[in-house]
C-alpha cells in the first residue's frame, strides 16, 4: 500500500465521518419535530396525522441510510468531486450545497454509466468498500487512460463473489450501465424486463421502483406500490431491498393473496389451470351466473290480504330482461328485477281489487291503494322467498364453490369437465382471479346504505373538535411532559367511541382492501401469470403503470405467457416497452455451461445470458443407488455447513429434504445440489424449464446426484 493511497484513504474517511455527523444532526432534528408533531402544536387532527406520517417516514429513511451511507465518488474533468450515496445530504449553512448526492438524482447517473469510451465529462469513478461507518478501501477507475491499471469492475466482482445471506441485497453501489438504463427509463406505462437467470432483472425492477418513488413521490406514495412474486419464499428473499433503499409503502403478495382474507398456495392440475387461466373462462362465469336465475315452470300464487295474484313465466322473463338490460352486476340488478315484479303484481292486484268501486277519476284512492299493495308485497315473506329463488343473491365464494363441486352445473355453464373437484371450496391459486372477477360480476351482496357513513362523518367532526380542545389544554400547561393520565384516557376513549380513523400505513391499508388501486405494480416471474391473473392486476392499477419481470424460457405454468404481446396488448396496445438484460451476474461460467445445454435442448431458439465471471470450481455429478441417496444428501449438507454462505437441495416431489424447483424461482444460493434430474425432466417441457431453474440457482458450487443415467442434456457432467 503506497503512502499516496494511505493519505487518500484517510482523507476519504474524514469526509465520510463528516457526512455521518450531518446525518446524525438531521436525524436528531427530524425526531424532535416528530415528537412535537405527536403533541399537536395546535394543528387540527388531520393536519397532525399528515405531519406525523411525513416526519415518521423521514426518520425511517435517515435510519436506513446509516448502513452504507456513501459508497462512491465522481470526479469531473474540471476537478470537482461529487460523492454518491443512499440519500442526499446538504450543507447546514446552504440548502443548495450538496454534500452527498442521492444515487437516483440525474447528476449521479454517470457513476453507473460512464465508461472509457463515453466518460460523460468524468475523469474518475471511485468506489468505496465500507463497513460500519468506515471506508475500508477504495478502487479507482480512471477514464481515458488506457493501461492505467485500475479495475473498474473490482467492486462488482467482490459483491458477486461474496457469500449469499438469507435475503437479496440491493445493488445500489454496483449498478451496471445496462441496468441503470432500465432503472431510469422514462416510460409511464408498462416496461417489460426480460433476462435469463442471474441477469439481475428482479433487483433492477426493485431499484426502478425506488427511482420512480424518488422522482414521482407525490404522485406514487399515497397509493403505494404492489410487488407480485411467485411464492412466499421469494417475497421474503426480496423483501428487504426496497426498505434498505428507504421505501416502505410497498405491498408484497403472491397471486394467491390478491383477494383479501385468502392466502392460497395449492395448485390445480395442468388441465384445470390452463382452463381457468384463459379469458374463455369469462363465458363460463357468466353462464354460471345466468344458470342461477330461473323462470317458474308453473304460475306461483302470491296471497295478499284482499286478493291472490299469480307470478308467471311471462312476467318473470320480462323482469329478468329489464334487469339484464340495466348492465348492472347480478346482485345490484336484482333491485330492477324486484321493481318490475312488484310493479306488475301491484297492477294486477289493483285491477282486481278496484274493479267495481273505483272510477278512473279517483286518483288519490288509486295511489293510496297502490302504495298499500307495494308495502304489503315488500313485507310478504312468501314473495321475498320466491324472488330469492328466481334471482338469488350470490357471493363469489358460494357461486364458484358450487360450480366447481357440481358436474351438472359445470355442464350447464359449458365448462371443461376437468374443473370438477370433490370439494368445491378447496381453493387453488387459479381460483383467485375467478373469485376476483366474480366480485365485479356479482356486485355487493347487501343493499347500499349511506346512513352509517353519514353518522361516521358527524362523529368524526365532533371527535376532531374534542381532540383540538385536548391539544389546546396541553399547550397551556407549564410543563409539556405532564399531560394528565385522565386526559390521555379520555382521548383514547373518544377515538374508540366516536372516530373510526384508519391509522395504518398505506401498505397495510392497501393489502386489506380489494378495491385499493396502486400507482405502480411490479410483477416478477411474470411469465407464469395467466390471462386471468393479468385482468386482476390491471384492475388494481387503472393507470397501467407496471414493471414486468420475467423469462419466457423459464415458464412452467400451462396458463402462462408464450409471448408478452398476448398478455399486454389487450390492455396497453402498442404502449409497452421491452428491454432485455443479457449479462449473467449470478451464475459462474462453469455452471452456466451445464444449464445452457439444458436450455438448448428444450428451447433452442433462446440464447443463454453471458456470465460475467468464473468461479474456478467445476460442477460435479455422481450416480448413487436409492439406498445411498439419503446419505449422499446428508454428506452434501454436512460439507456445505463448513462453508460460509447458503446452500439448498433441489429435487422432485418426494425426495426427503429437497425443495421443489418451483419453490426456488428467483432465489440464489452459494451451493446447490440437484437430486434426480431425470425425474424432473420426466414432466416434459415443464420439467425441462424446472431443471433449468434448479441448475441456475448456484453462485459458486453445483452438484448433481442421480439414480438413473444422466439425461442427454447433462452428459457434460458425466
Residues in the annotated binding site? 195-202
Annotated binding site for ATP: 195-202
Does residue 38 contact residue 474 with C-beta atoms inside 8 Å?
Answer: no
DSSP annotation of 105 reads S
Task: Kindly report each contact of residues 458-461 with a partner whose C-beta sits within 8 Å and lies 24 or more positions away, as own/partner.
Answer: 459/498, 459/499, 459/500, 460/498, 460/499, 460/500, 460/501
If you search the block for the grid coordinates 449438507, which residue do you land on?
637
Bridge partners of 137, per DSSP, are: 129
Cα separation, 239 vs 233, whole angstroms: 10
Alpha-carbon distance of 324 to 337, in angstroms, equals 9
Residue 645 grid coordinates: 454462505
Task: Tell me if residue 48 falls in helix, strand or coil.
Answer: helix
Contact residues for 237 (Cβ-Cβ < 8 A; gap 6+): 166, 167, 168, 666, 667
- CA dist 398 and 633 (Å) reads 46
Round to whole Å and give the CA distance between 713 and 602.
9
* Residues facing residue 303 across a β-bridge: 308
Cβ atoms within 10 Å, residue 702: 29
Rounded Cα distance between 265 and 247, Å, is: 27
Closest by CA position to 49, among listed 481, 506, 488: 506
Please name the helix (run of DSSP H) or strand (run of DSSP E) that holds residue 672, with its range, or none: strand 669-675
Could you tell me the three cell numbers for 143?
A: 477514464
d(CA 614, CA 590): 6
Whole-angstrom distance, CA of residue 242 vs CA of residue 265? 25
Task: State the burial class of residue 16 (Cβ atoms within 10 Å of its Cβ: 0-12, 13-18, 19+).
Answer: buried
Distance set, CA 714 to CA 595, 621, 664 (Å): 8, 9, 20
Distance CA 688, CA 603 (A): 9
Is the alpha carbon torsion for 236, 242, 246, 252 positive or negative? negative
Report CA Rg, the chain: 33
CA atoms of 555 and 248, how far apart (whole Å) = 30
- Three-state DSSP state, 710: coil
Are the CB atoms for 536 and 259 separated by under 8 Å? no
Q: Residue 583 — left, alpha, or beta (φ > 0 → left; ψ -120 to 50 → alpha)? A: beta
Provide DSSP, 261-292. T--------HHHHHHHHSTTHHHHHHHHHHHT
Nearest to 171, CA basis, from 208, 216, 214: 208
Taken as a whole, the chain contains a residue count of 718
Q: 405 CB contacts (<8 Å, ≥6 apart)?
A: 420, 421, 422, 423, 424, 425
Spatial separation of the C-alpha atoms in residues 195 and 662, rounded to whole Å: 18
Q: Up-side HSE of residue 381: CA atoms within 13 Å toward CB?
A: 0
Amino acid at each position: 500500500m503506497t503512502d499516496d493511497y494511505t493519505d487518500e484513504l484517510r482523507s476519504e474517511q474524514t469526509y465520510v465521518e463528516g457526512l455521518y455527523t450531518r446525518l446524525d444532526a438531521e436525524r436528531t432534528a427530524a425526531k424532535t419535530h416528530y415528537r412535537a408533531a405527536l403533541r399537536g402544536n395546535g394543528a387540527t387532527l388531520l393536519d397532525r396525522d399528515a405531519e406525523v406520517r411525513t416526519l415518521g417516514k423521514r426518520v425511517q429513511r435517515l435510519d436506513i441510510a446509516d448502513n452504507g451511507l456513501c459508497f462512491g465518488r465522481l470526479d469531473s474533468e474540471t476537478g470537482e468531486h461529487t460523492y454518491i450515496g443512499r440519500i442526499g445530504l446538504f450543507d447546514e449553512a446552504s440548502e443548495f450545497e450538496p454534500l452527498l448526492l442521492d444515487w437516483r438524482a440525474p447528476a449521479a447517473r454517470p457513476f453507473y454509466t460512464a465508461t472509457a469510451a463515453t466518460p460523460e465529462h468524468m475523469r474518475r469513478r471511485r468506489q468505496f468498500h465500507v463497513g460500519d461507518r468506515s471506508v475500508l478501501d477504495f478502487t479507482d477507475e480512471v477514464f481515458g487512460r488506457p493501461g492505467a491499471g485500475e479495475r473498474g469492475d473490482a467492486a462488482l466482482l467482490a459483491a458477486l463473489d461474496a457469500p449469499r445471506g438469507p435475503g437479496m441485497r440491493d445493488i445500489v453501489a454496483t449498478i451496471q450501465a445496462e441496468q441503470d438504463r432500465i432503472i431510469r427509463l422514462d416510460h409511464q406505462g408498462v416496461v417489460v424486463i426480460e433476462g435469463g437467470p442471474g441477469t439481475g432483472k428482479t433487483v433492477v425492477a426493485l431499484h426502478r421502483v425506488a427511482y420512480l418513488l424518488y422522482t414521482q413521490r407525490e404522485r406514487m406514495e399515497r397509493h403505494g406500490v404492489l410487488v407480485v412474486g411467485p411464492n412466499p419464499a421469494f417475497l421474503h428473499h426480496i423483501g428487504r431491498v426496497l426498505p434498505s433503499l428507504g421505501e416502505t409503502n410497498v405491498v408484497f403478495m403472491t397471486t394467491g393473496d390478491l383477494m383479501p382474507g385468502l392466502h392460497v398456495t395449492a395448485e390445480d392440475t395442468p388441465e384445470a389451470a390452463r382452463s381457468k387461466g384463459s379469458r374463455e373462462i369469462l363465458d363460463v362465469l357468466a353462464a354460471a351466473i345466468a344458470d342461477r336465475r330461473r323462470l317458474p315452470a308453473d304460475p306461483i300464487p302470491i296471497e295478499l290480504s284482499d286478493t291472490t295474484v299469480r307470478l308467471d313465466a311471462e312476467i318473470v322473463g320480462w323482469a329478468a330482461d329489464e334487469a339484464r338490460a340495466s348492465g348492472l352486476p347480478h346482485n345490484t340488478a336484482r333491485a330492477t328485477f324486484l321493481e318490475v315484479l312488484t310493479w306488475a303484481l301491484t297492477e294486477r292486484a289493483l285491477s282486481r281489487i278496484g274493479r267495481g268501486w273505483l272510477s278512473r277519476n279517483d286518483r288519490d284512492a288509486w295511489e293510496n291503494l297502490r302504495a298499500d299493495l307495494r308495502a304489503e308485497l315488500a313485507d310478504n315473506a312468501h314473495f321475498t322467498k320466491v324472488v330469492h329463488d328466481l334471482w338469488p343473491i350470490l357471493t363469489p365464494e358460494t357461486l364458484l364453490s358450487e360450480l366447481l363441486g357440481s358436474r351438472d352445473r359445470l355442464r350447464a355453464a359449458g365448462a371443461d369437465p376437468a374443473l370438477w373437484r370433490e370439494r368445491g371450496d378447496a381453493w387453488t391459486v387459479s381460483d383467485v382471479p375467478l373469485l376476483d372477477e366474480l366480485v365485479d360480476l356479482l356486485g355487493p351482496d347487501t343493499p347500499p346504505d349511506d346512513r352509517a357513513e353519514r353518522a361516521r362523518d358527524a362523529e368524526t367532526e365532533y371527535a376532531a373538535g374534542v381532540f383540538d380542545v385536548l391539544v389546546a389544554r396541553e399547550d397551556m400547561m407549564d410543563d409539556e411532559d405532564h399531560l394528565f393520565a385522565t386526559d390521555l384516557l379520555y382521548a383514547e376513549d373518544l377515538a374508540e367511541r366516536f372516530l373510526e380513523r384508519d391509522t395504518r400505513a398505506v401498505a397495510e391499508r392497501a393489502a386489506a382492501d380489494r378495491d385499493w388501486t396502486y400507482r405502480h405494480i411490479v410483477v416478477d416471474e411474470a411469465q407464469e401469470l395467466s390471462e386471468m391473473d393479468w385482468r386482476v392486476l390491471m384492475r388494481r392499477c387503472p393507470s397501467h403503470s407496471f414493471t414486468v419481470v420475467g423469462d419466457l424460457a423459464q415458464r412452467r405454468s400451462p396458463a402462462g405467457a408464450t409471448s408478452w404481446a398476448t398478455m399486454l396488448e389487450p390492455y396497453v396496445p402498442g404502449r409497452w416497452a421491452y428491454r432485455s438484460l443479457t449479462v449473467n451476474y449470478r451464475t459462474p461460467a462453469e455452471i452456466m455451461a451445464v444449464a445452457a445445454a439444458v436450455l438448448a435442448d428444450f428451447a433452442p431458439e433462446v440464447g443463454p445470458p453471458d456470465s460475467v465471471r468464473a468461479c474456478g470450481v467445476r460442477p460435479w455429478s455422481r450416480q448413487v443407488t436409492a439406498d445411498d441417496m439419503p446419505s449422499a444428501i446428508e454428506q452434501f449438507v454436512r460439507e456445505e455447513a463448513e462453508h460460509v454462505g447458503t446452500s439448498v437441495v433441489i429435487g422432485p416431489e418426494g425426495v426427503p429434504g429437497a425443495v421443489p424447483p418451483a419453490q426456488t424461482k428467483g432465489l440464489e444460493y452459494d451451493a446447490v445440489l440437484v437430486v434426480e434430474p431425470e425425474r424432473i425432466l420426466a414432466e416434459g417441457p415443464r420439467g425441462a424449464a424446472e431443471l433449468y431453474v434448479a441448475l441456475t440457482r448456484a453462485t459458486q458450487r453445483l452438484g448433481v446426484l442421480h439414480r438413473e443415467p444422466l439425461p442427454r442434456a447433462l452428459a457434460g457432467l458425466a
